[in-house]
Chain A
Amino acid sequence: MGYVAVKGGQEAIENAFRFFRYNQIRQGSEPIQVEQIRDQLHLLIDRIMSEGSLYAPDLAALAVKQAAGDTLEASFILRAYRTTLPRLGYSLPLDTARMRVIRRISAAFQDIPGGQILGPTPDYTLRLLNFDLINEDSQTYQEHIADLFQDLPEYDELPQTFPKVMEILRRDNLLIGRNAQVVGSTKSFDITRESITFPAPRSAALQAMAMGETGGLLALAYSNMRGYGMVHPTVGELRVGYLEVNVKNPYTQQPEKIGEIEVTEAEIISQAKHKDGNRPQFTLGYGLCFGHNETKAISMAVLDRAMQSEEPQSPSEDQEFVLLHIDGIESMGFCNHYKLPHYVTFQSQLDRLRKAQEKA
C-alpha cells in the first residue's frame, strides 16, 4: 500500500513551492531589484498591468519577479491583488484627443496635421542580437545617455496635443458617425461587477479586450487578417502617450487630477458600410490598453470591428467566441487545472469504456 498518497499533501505542497523559489536563486547571480524590472523591462510591465488590469508599475514589477518572468502568472498575481482593493469610484471619461503624445503614426496618409511622430520604437531596426548589452554597467549607461544628448539638432517643441486623424475623415463625412457603432446601452458595462451576457454591449466587449491576453487577442485578430474575416484594416492612427485621469471632487463637483496613465490607442479604418440608402462610409475599429503595447491595441481594434459583423462567419467575428476566450487568467487557470487529480472522473470513464467493450 506504500504507493498510495493518502496523507502528506500539505508538506508536499510547501516543499514544492520552496523548490520553485530555490530554482530561481540557486545560480547565485545578483538579486534583481524590483525597480530594475520596472524601469528596464517596462514593456513587460505594461503588458502585465494591462492583462492584470491594474495600473501599478511597482506592483507589476514585483509580480514579475515573484512569477520568475511568467507573464500569465504575473498578471494573475496582480489581478488577484486588485480584487482586494475597494472600488472608490469611477474616473471621468478620458479624452484621448488630449493625450500627451510620445508616438503617433498614421498608415492612411503620408502626412497628417501635427506630423508623423515616430517616438520610441524598435520597429524599424534590424533584429540582430546586440552583444554590447552583455557587459553593461552603470558607467556605460551614463556614457550612453551622454552620447544620446550630444549634438542634438535644433528641434521644435512638440505641441501639447495633436488633432485626431479620424476627425479629418469624419469632417469630410467619410467615416461612420460616433454613435452609429454603439451596440446596446451607452452606459458603461462593468464586466468585473456583472457577468457578461450575449449579445454584449460594445463597452463590455472593449473592457474584456482591454483586460485580454496579448497573445490571445493577436491569434484571433491574425486569423481575421489572414482571411477568416473581412476587416482589411488600415491603421488610421496609432498613438502612445499619457492621459490625465480626473475624478469628480464629491464636495466641489469639480474635476480633480489624480494622476496620469500611459496608454496605447489604435483606430483602424475598415471596409465601407452602406445602409438604408445612406451614402456608404468607412467603419472604425477601436483599441485601447494600458501602457505601450501596440500589438495588443491593433489586435483589439481589428477584433472590435470584426465583432460588429452583421452575419458572423468566422471565429473572430463571433462576439461570444472572442470575448469568452481571450482572458489570459481564465484560460491559463483552466488549462492548468487539468493537472489536478481527476481520479474520480477517470474512474467513471473507465467504467463506461469497459462496459462498452463488453458489449462490442
Chain B
Amino acid sequence: MNLSTWLQQQEKNGHQAYYTFAFIDEGAKREIRRKTLKAIAIPGYQVPFGSRDMPIARGWGTGGLQLTLALIGPEDILKVIDQGADDSVNAVNIKKFVSQVTGVRLTNQVQEATLIQTRHRIPEEPLREGQILVFQVPIPEPLRAVEPSERETRRMHGEADYSRMWLHLYENIVQFKEIMIGSRYPVMVHNRFMMDPSPIPRWDNPRLHMAEGLYLFGAGREKRIYAVPPYTSVKSIEFEDYKFRVEDFGGVACSRCGRTNTFLNEIIDDESGKRTFICSDTAFCSKL
C-alpha cells in the first residue's frame, strides 16, 4: 500500500490524516529500526537511541510506543495489554492513539496479533514465529538496584562484572532467608548480558527462554532499546541451593475461568475483606 492510497483510505475511515503514518517522522523510524537490529544482533545489550517526545507522558510507555510505531505497517494487527488486561486504562489510551495514526486493526487475541505491546506481562499463550512482543520498560538497567551511576553500570556490563548483583541476592538470603526480588527479576541472556526483563512477574521469566517470537524492549525516558531474539537462552539468575522460583498461588483457581495454571491478581472484596483471585491475562481468561 502506498501513502496516497493509505491517505484516501484514512479519510474514508474517518481517521486522522494530519500526522504522518504512525506519527513518528520517517528519519526517526529508520533510526529506531537500525538500533533495533543492533539490539537483536547483541541479545540483552542495551542500545542507546535518540528517544523522541511522544504525546503520552514519559514513563507511560513511550519506549514501547516508539518501537511499535517504528515497526507497524498498515497490514499489522495490534494487541495492547497493561497488567495483562486489554481494557486497562493505559492500554486503551495507547491503542486509541496507534489506531488514530495508523488505522490498523486491533485485536484482543494473541494468535491473531502480529504485534503486541505490553506493560508488566507476557501473555499466557505462547507466541509463535513471526510475532513480536514489545515491552514497555521503566528502568532498563538491571544493575540500577545496586549501582546508581550509568557510567559505572555500562562499565560493569562491558566487563561482565555482575558480582554486586550476586552479592545483593546473597544479602537477601542472609536477611530474609529468601531472594526478595518480586518482579523485574534479572536474567542472563545468551550467557553474556544481564538483562532487566521489565517489571514482569517472575511467573513470566521462564517464557523468555528459547521462545519462538521476538521480544523487544523499549525504554523511552532512559533512551534504550534491547532485545531477546527467538530461540535465545534466557536464564533467571539463581544459586545452586537457592533457586529462582515463580510466584506461588497455593493452588487456588481463577474465580472467573477456573484455571489453576495462570498468573492471578488478588482481589479484596470491599465488604468482607475476603480474597478472591482472577487471571491477570483477561483475554486468556475469557477464552475457554
Interface residues of A (CB under 8 A from B): 1, 3-4, 6-10, 12-13, 76, 79-80, 82-84, 86, 192-199, 320, 324, 329-330, 332-337, 340-353, 355-356, 359-360
Residue pair A7, B82 in contact (C-beta under 8 Å): no
Instruction: Note all chain A residues with C-beta closer than 8 A to B151.
Output: 198-199, 320
- Residue B59 contacts which of A196, A334, A343, A349 (CB distance < 8 angstroms)? A334
A344 to B119 Cα, complex, angstroms:
10
- The docked-state distance in angstroms from the alpha carbon of A340 to that of B93 is 12
Bound state CA distance, A212 and B85, in angstroms?
A: 35
Nearest A residue (CB) for B280: A344
- B282, CB-defined interface residue at 8 Å: yes
The answer on a CB contact under 8 Å between B177 and A334 is: no
Which residues of chain A are near B84, meaning CB under 8 Å? 344
B89 touches which one: A9, A83, A342, A345 (CB < 8 A)?
A9
Say yes or no: A195 contacts B183, CB within 8 Å: no
Q: Please judge, given known A-B contacts A83-B52, A84-B19, whether A9 and B57 are in contact too, CB under 8 Å.
A: no
Q: Which residues of the other chain, B, contact A199 by a CB distance below 8 angstroms?
A: 151
Contact A344 B83 (CB under 8 A): yes
Min distance, Cβ A64 to any Cβ of chain B, angstroms: 17
Whether A348 lies near B59 (C-beta < 8 A) is no
Residues on B lying within 8 angstroms of A by beta carbon are: 19, 23-25, 48-55, 57-60, 62, 82-85, 87-93, 96, 119-121, 138, 149-151, 154, 176-184, 199-203, 221, 223-224, 247-248, 255-256, 263-267, 269-270, 276, 278, 280, 282
Shortest distance in angstroms between A173's beta carbon and chain B's nearest beta carbon? 35
Point out the residues of chain A lying under 8 angstroms from B48, CB to CB.
Answer: 194-195, 197
CB-CB under 8 A from B184, the residues of chain A are 345
With A333-B221, A341-B82 known to touch, is A348 a contact of B202 (CB < 8 Å)?
yes
Can you report 5 A-B residue pairs in the complex whose CB atoms are below 8 A from each other?
A329-B57, A330-B221, A334-B138, A348-B247, A352-B178
B50/A192 in contact, CB under 8 A: yes
- CB proximity of A14 to chain B, nearest CB, Å: 10
Q: Give chain A residues whose Cβ lies under 8 Å from the Cβ of B55.
A: 80
CA distance A196 to B223 in the complex (A): 9
Question: Given A345-B120, A348-B201, A193 and B50 touching (CB < 8 A)?
Answer: yes
Q: Roughly how many angstroms separate A10 CA and B256 CA in the complex, as a whole number?
A: 22
A-B interface, 10 closest residue pairs, ranked by CB to CB distance from nearest: A333-B58, A348-B182, A337-B59, A195-B48, A333-B57, A334-B59, A349-B182, A195-B223, A83-B53, A345-B183
Asked if A333 and B200 sit within 8 Å, CB to CB, the answer is no
Complexed CA–CA distance, A195 and B60 (Å): 19
Contacts of A346 in B (CB 8 A): 182
For the complex, give the distance between the alpha carbons of A154 and B20 in Å.
Answer: 57
Q: B53 contacts A82, CB within 8 Å?
A: yes
Listed residue (A7, A84, A329, A335) with the most chain B CB atoms within 10 angstroms of its CB: A84
Contact, CB under 8 Å: B177 / A359: yes
- CB of B59 within 8 A of CB of A195, answer no
User: Given the complex of chains A and B, what is the CA–CA distance between A73 and B263 in angstroms?
Assistant: 36
- Whether B121 pairs with A344 at a CB distance below 8 angstroms is yes
In the bound complex, CA of A106 to CA of B31 (Å): 46
B60 in complex: contacting residue of A192, A324, A333, CB < 8 Å: A333
Closest residue of chain A to B202 (Cβ to Cβ) is A348
A329-B58, A344-B84, A347-B266 known; A84-B180 Cβ under 8 A = no
Chain B residue nearest to A53 (CB atoms) is B53
- Give the nearest-CB partner of B224 in chain A: A195
CB distance from B59 to the nearest CB of A (A): 3
Tell me whether A341 and B89 are in contact (CB under 8 A): yes
Say which residue of B89, B178, B180, B221 sits within 8 Å of A12 (CB atoms): B89
Q: Cβ of B59 and Cβ of A333 under 8 Å apart?
A: yes
Contact of B265 among A330, A347, A352 (CB under 8 A): A347
- Min CB distance B163 to A, Å, is 22
Q: In the complex the two chains form, is A332's CB within 8 Å of B57's CB?
A: yes
Give the distance in Å from the alpha carbon of A345 to the alpha carbon of B119 in the complex.
11
B255: which A residues are within 8 A, CB to CB? 1
On whether the beta carbons of B150 and A320 are closer than 8 Å, the reply is yes
